[in-house]
Structures are given as structure tokens and as C-alpha cells.
Amino acid sequence: MKSNPLLSWYRALAYATGCMLLLLCGFMVAKYGFGVGKSATFFVAQAHGILFMGYVVVAFMLGQKQRWPLVKQLVILVAGTVPFCSFVAERRVVREVRGLEAGKAAPAPVGV
């Protein structure tokens, strides 16, 4: 199977954004809860912001390439702002994109 570089970038940025967001949450608790690590929190926040901007661009480009509906794209983009959600979204996106690339149809949602 041919490698998809956009999917590889998405995976790397989803993991990096998720890890930096968890780290930022820990630093925010230390800063506001215990009054320590003020300067370190600034640098972690800056790193997370830069990674998140890259995540948004790559996720948007992947969504355009895969022709996702706007609501799905927005959900994937917002997943980078909630701790642990970027990891869950990354697994689902990779499973779907690799399934489509392999020629298999993505599983249809169950109707109610």
C-alpha cells in the first residue's frame, strides 16, 4: 500500500498536540494551583499553540482531500482542544483513511 504523507503528518501532529495539551494542563494546575512554574507555563503554551496551528492546517487539508462534510471537519479540528480527544480522533481518522485507501468502504453508521 502506498504511504500517505498527509496522513503521516496528521498522525504526528495529533500526538504532539495531544501530549502538549496534557503537559499544558499540568503546568496550568501547577501555576494557578501552587504558584510555581510561571515561566515554564509560558513556553509550554507557546509550543502547544504552534503545534495546534500546524494540526489545524494539516487536519483541514486532510479533510478536504478526503471530502469530509464540514461538521466532521469541525469535530476533528475541535478534538485538538480537548485533552485526550486528539488521540481518539487520530485513531478513528487513520482507520477510516487507511480503509478507504485499501479499497474497503468505511463502515456505515447504524441508523435509528
CB 14 within 8 A of CB 87: yes
76 within domain boundaries: yes
Query: What's the domain range around 96?
Result: 9-101
91 within domain boundaries: yes
Q: What is the pLDDT of residue 100?
A: 76
Q: What is the pLDDT of residue 69?
A: 94
Q: What is the DSSP code (8-state) at residue 61?
A: H
Give CA separation, 50 vs 43, 47, 60, in Å.
11, 5, 16
112 within domain boundaries: no
Residues 91, 50: Cα–Cα separation, whole Å: 22
Domain count, the chain: 1
CB 83 within 8 A of CB 26: no
Q: What is the pLDDT of residue 41?
A: 94
Please list the ranges in the chain whose pLDDT falls under 70: 1-2, 103-112
108 within domain boundaries: no
3 within domain boundaries: no
Residues 43, 67: Cα–Cα separation, whole Å: 36
Residues 85, 3: Cα–Cα separation, whole Å: 25
